[in-house]
Amino acid sequence: MDKILEIIKQEKQRQTDQLQMIPSENYASAKVMKAVGSCLMNKYAEGYPKRRYYQGNVNVDKVESLARKRVLQAFGLNGKQWGVNVQPHSGCEANVAVYNAMLKIGDRIMGMYLPDGGHLSHGWQMPGRKVTLVSKIFKVKFYHVNRQSRVFDYDQIEKQVRKFRPKMIISGGTAVPRDIDHQRMSQIAKEAKALYLADMAHEAGLIAAGVLNSPFPYADVVTFTTHKTFRGPRGAVIIGKKKYMDRLNFSVFPGLQGGPHIHSIAGIAVAAKEVQTKAFKDYAKQVIKNAQVLAEEFKQAGLDVVSGGTDKHLVLVDLRKQSLSGWVVAWALEKAGIIVNRNTVPYDTGSPYYPSGLRLGTPALTSRGMKEKEMGQIAEWINAVVEHVKDEKLPKDPAARRKFVKSFRRRIVKDEFLRKMRVEIADFSKKYPVPGV
């Protein structure tokens, strides 16, 4: 057997034995995986349906056209008012394509502050350091969550917008537990004569299912990735008002990309059809119920749940009350068989690599059929691990921290408590089939 195929086999086993709780991960269906792994990956198709730069695209055109149609249907959109581009290879490229289409070099944009839950592709920069390409091209400022409530303060956002006068306002992020008021964001943008871009990368499937606020009555352009709550393959979509679509399409190709990944677009088409089923709508409701159970269990255990709960698929926990680093707890949880990610929290005093928080989600667990009862058990395991490592304090001094990191990584491999829990979790996890694997 080829070494790569052996590694894939090992990864299938890992996904079966462990609990996948990173909010941006999910399990694509067998039908989606079959489409992505099809002969469509052999075809080059620069351009758009009926306007290709290569021959032999009669079937490819059908695939992309059907994907566009199904995506619009998934969100109940009228093709006369909205257009869709299914070619972006990633969410970052989708967002950059929007900026490239709608803005001029040097224009002002405003998005959510990264440590508060925003995203790199919204122009992340640090004092004196332009980190992202977007920050090097445009003038960027950020809005924050309220320091006490740790949710959006729309009045404060409005004040900032009036002062900064951006050409575009962006909503959405990677660690925002509460639903977004798209109507208010749109009003703020319109008052400033700014465009409103809603990045719903995390929430797309939940919005399609009707369990979260939709940005479509209010936004000028919407972007999303197709592999999170949308439960499709890796890829991204831009949906824009019809009057903007020529610009948006030209920005994607030839502006940023060459040939589209038709096999991924086929997977998007399959996922978009699945999203419209009653089974998926029931799934989306359960995703949120499960996340809310986790949030409540963590609060009962004395953990600081950012914003006091969640409206979505994710829970953000601030570990500073326990004087713990998210790095420490995330590694300990992995050794126990629970996969989360360390994450910054609002007004974090840690660093991006050693942040103070944990980000946990329920899309993948719910795809395996887990419900509220299972969430109670999983929360119990997580709380037990937090208690187990409560004395593992990450030093602030860089030299001492490096020494601690090496020591901790060695010690947890041999930790008997975590080893026993890993066996218990693997036995539990195998009871819930992994879709598509």
| Residues identified as active-site | 44, 46, 199, 225, 228, 234
Q: Are strands 82-85 and 168-171 parallel, antiparallel or unpaired?
A: unpaired
Closest listed residue to residue 236, CA positions, set 253, 222, 224: 224
Structure tokens at 61: 């055109």
Handedness of CA 335, 340, 344, 348 (dihedral sign): negative
CB distance 178 to 317 below 8 Å: no
Give the Cα separation of 292 and 312 in Å (integer): 8
Nearest of 124, 154, 163, 156 to residue 140 by alpha carbon: 124
Whole-angstrom distance, CA of residue 143 vs CA of residue 341: 24
Taking the C-alpha atoms of residue 343 and residue 409, their distance in angstroms, rounded to an integer, is 19
| DSSP bridge pairs for 20 | 339
Contact 235, 227 (CB under 8 A): yes
Contact (Cβ atoms closer than 8 angstroms) between residue 242 and residue 253:
no
Among 68, 70, 37, which Cα is nearest to 50's? 68
Cα gap 164→184, rounded to integer Å: 18
**Residue type at 406?**
K
Closest CA to 281 of 205, 227, 213, 371: 205
**Sequence letter at residue 96:** V
